[in-house]
Structures are given as structure tokens and as C-alpha cells.
Amino acid sequence: MKLMLIAIWHYRHFILTSIRNDLRTRFARSRLGAIWGILQPLAQSAIYAIVMGRVLGSRLPNTTNKYAYVIYLLAGLAGWTLFAEMITRCQTIFVDNGSLLKKVVFPRICLPLIVSGSSLQNNLFLLATTLAIFIIVGNYPTWTWLWLPVLVIVTLTFGLALGLVLGVLNVFVRDVAQVMNVVMQLWFWLTPIVYPVNTLSGHFELVLRLNPMYAIASSYQQVFVWGHVPHLESLAVIFVASLLVLAAGMSLFRRASPDMVDVL
């Protein structure tokens, strides 16, 4: 573990350069460039807002703000988008870069960190746009918005921990990524992002509260919609559990690393 951390420090410039190059490569031939990384989730939010807000008549209780549901939706998606991108990209990171791993000598643990930096960069662009929309519709900043860095760190750590384990497993069992694609769709709808959790029956609400992403998405909504402090106890538990899973993932990666190139 110590040698792995030392290797990461020695290759820090390589990691930072790769993060910048990743953004350029993804939108190299696009006229709008990185703006697509913002437009896609915002378009998804608009669709949900129209369908759930207009057609199905979704409303938030105890509020008269006509934009409250849109704010609620965007706040939840801000956290989910970062987590989903981390999982989606980390679970195939070693398979997608198989040829690079065979040709270039560098610490393989750098790849998940590059994905983390790139995903964080995309999420910051999205957050900036989301916050601008909040201000436009009259949801002005409060002191609770200062909790945003904490929420981002917890979400990023949770996604990295789970994504690293899935990425290693997917090298040896390629069905992992296919199964997770289905799991992520189900996970999204089991997280109260497009619907308020208090609209559900008591027993089902209790089950949803066991979902780690419930605490994360709900904390974003607490901060931005209601102006309240996030669920600090739940976030602390998730963060500590994520660190433990991350340590286990790094141990698994270290043991599997010699065989990964042969399998790829």
C-alpha cells in the first residue's frame, strides 16, 4: 500500500496531464466541446421535469415555489451524475486501456485516479451551470451551500471505492460491467431523485433509506432546496465505509495486478 501511494506521488504530473488530455480527447472534434458534458444531464433533467412535473403533476409538499420541483430534481441529479460516471467509467477502465497497459510501463493505479479527476472536472462544470440555474429561478445562495465540497468528496470517494473493485473484477469476469449497467438503472429509480421520498409508503421508505445514494442525493437536496444541513451522520458512515472498501479494492488490485495484463 505504501509503495502504491509513493508511485502515485511520483506520477502525479502524468495523472494531471492525462486528466487534461482526457477532456480534450473526448470532445476533440465537437464544435460545442465540453459543453456537451453539461447539456446532456441538463436535457435529461428537463425531460424528467416536464414528464414528472407537468404530465404527472409532481409537486413538493410544504412549498409554494413553482420551481421547487426543478430545483429538487437538479440537486439530486448533481450528486447522482458524478457517482454514475465514476461507476460507468471505472468498471471498464482496465479493459478499455488494455493495449496501453501492455505497451507503456506506469503504475496501473493511476488509471482510476485519472477517471476520478476527469469525472470531477465534468461534475464541476455541471455544478456551476446548475447553481447558475438556481440563481436565475430565484433560489439564491445560502450558507448551507458551503457544504457542497463535503458532498462532492463523499460522492467521489464512494464512486471510486466501488468503481475500483468493479474494474478489477471486470478484467476477469466481463459480465460484471453488463450486470452493473442494469443495476445502475434500477439503483437510479431506487434513489429518490425524481420523486420525494415522503410520497412513498412507510415500509418502502424505510428500505430506501438503506440505500447509500439516498443519503447522498437527499443531502444535496437538503442543502439546495430546503437550506438545511446535510445528513452528516449518514455521510460520515458512507465516507468511512468507502475508505474501507477503497483500501480493500487497492489490496485486491495489488494482488491481481500481475495477472491483469495477461488476461487483457
pLDDT tens digits, residue range 52-101?
666 555 666 666 667 778 888 889 988 999 999 999 999 988 888 777 77
Return the half-sphere exposure (C-beta side, CA atoms, 13 A cut-off) of residue 133.
22
Of 25-39, 101-115, 244-258, the poorest mean pLDDT is in 25-39
**CA proximity to 42, closest of 77, 85, 11:** 77
Sign of the C-alpha dihedral computed for residues 245, 251, 252 and 253 taken in this order? positive
Domain membership flag for residue 227: yes
- Higher-confidence residue of 259 and 104: namely 259
CB 239 within 8 A of CB 154: yes
- Looking at every residue in the chain, the average pLDDT score rounds to 82
**Residue type (1 letter), 222:** Q
**CA proximity to 120, closest of 110, 112, 108:** 112
Domain span at 154: 2-19+35-263
- Average of pLDDT values for 20-27? 71
Q: Residue 243's pLDDT band (boundaries 50, 70, 90)?
A: very high
Of 30-44, 173-187, 205-219, the poorest mean pLDDT is in 30-44
- Higher-confidence residue of 123 and 156: namely 156
Domain membership flag for residue 28: no
Domain membership flag for residue 81: yes
Q: Is the pLDDT of residue 207 over 70?
A: yes
218 burial level (CB within 10 Å; 0-12, 13-18, 19+): buried
Total domain count for the chain?
1
pLDDT for residue 161:
94
Domain membership flag for residue 30: no
* pTM (two decimals): 0.87
- Higher-confidence residue of 242 and 13: namely 242
Domain membership flag for residue 167: yes
pLDDT more than 70, % of the chain: 79
- Average of pLDDT values for 132-153? 89
pLDDT for residue 32:
59
- Higher-confidence residue of 27 and 70: namely 70
Domain membership flag for residue 117: yes
Domain membership flag for residue 29: no
Q: Residue 3's pLDDT band (boundaries 50, 70, 90)?
A: low
Domain membership flag for residue 246: yes
